[in-house]
Structure 1
Amino acid sequence: MTRVDTKAESGSKGVGVGAVIGGVVGGVVGNQVGKGNGNTAATIAGALGGAYVGDKVQRNEDKRLVYQVEVRLDDGRYSTVTLADGSFREGDRVELRNGALLHR
């Protein structure tokens, strides 16, 4: 094994529960501000801001750590494998079998 890189990968790809909850909370808080058109604008701004913040919080919570491992094959070529398992270290002797990385 020639190299092991650690990378945070986002598990959340679309708009999820965080954006919805944030939008509702932001709308409720925004609704407490002003009267008439100002109240409507504050409600909309609060909902949009809350949805944005809620989405960012969820994406941060959904991150997972992955390991990109570079392996030098017996024929001299290099292959990179992405793993959820962090038990491999640079210099380990490994075997790449059917796309799976195994300790030797």
Structure 2
Amino acid sequence: MEFRRIKLASAILVAMALAGCASEQQQRAGTGALVGAGAGALAGQALGRDTKSTLAGAAGGAILGGVIGSATAPRRQSQELCRYQAADGSIYTAPCNY
């Protein structure tokens, strides 16, 4: 039982460390998956009252939570910016004129 706790704590710490390197969309997907897995596990246990139902609920919740988390992340416009020089010599950025 103790090995199982250490393994779980290690997995959580690794996930938290990697979350700092992820984009906002990836972070939302990961958070959604974790929350969804927890909610799905609770629902699976409440409905089926056995381990198989709990695991199935956790898996389904993780997938659904990840999809919802990813879909709700704000999208950046991928418009390229260029540097320009004004008549007075100042430099500014604006969308490129291709």
Runs of 4+ in 1 over 4 A off after TM superposition: none
**Is the CA contact (8 Å cut-off) linking 2:48 and 2:54 kept in structure 1?**
no
- Which residue of 1 is the match for residue 71 of structure 2? 60
The runs of 5 or more residues in structure 1 that have no matched partner are: 1-9, 69-80, 84-95
* Aligned-residue offset at 1:65: 4.2
Greater share of strand: 1
CA contact (8 A) 1:26 1:50 kept: yes
TM-score scaled by structure 1?
0.51
Residue correspondences, number: 66
The alignment-based identity, stated in percent, is: 32
Q: CA RMSD in A?
A: 2.9
The structure showing larger relative contact order (alpha-carbon pairs under 8 Å, at least 6 residues apart) is: 1
TM-score (norm 2): 0.54
Q: Distance in 2 between matches of 1:64 and 1:19?
A: 19
Structure 2 alignment gaps of length 5 or more: 1-22, 85-91
State the 1:102 CA deviation: 6.0
What is residue 100 of structure 1 aligned with on the other side?
93
SS at match of 2:35: helix
Secondary structure of 1:101 counterpart: strand
The one of 8, 12, 25 aligned to 1:12? 25
For residues 35-93 of structure 1, the C-alpha deviation after alignment (integer angstroms, 9 at most, x for no partner) is: 5xxx211100100100110111111110314143xxxxxxxxxxxx1x6xxxxxxxxxx
**Secondary structure at 2:75 match in 1:** strand
Contact kept, 8 Å, 1:11 with 1:64, in 2: the verdict is no
User: What is the aligned counterpart of 1:22 among 36, 53, 62?
Assistant: 36
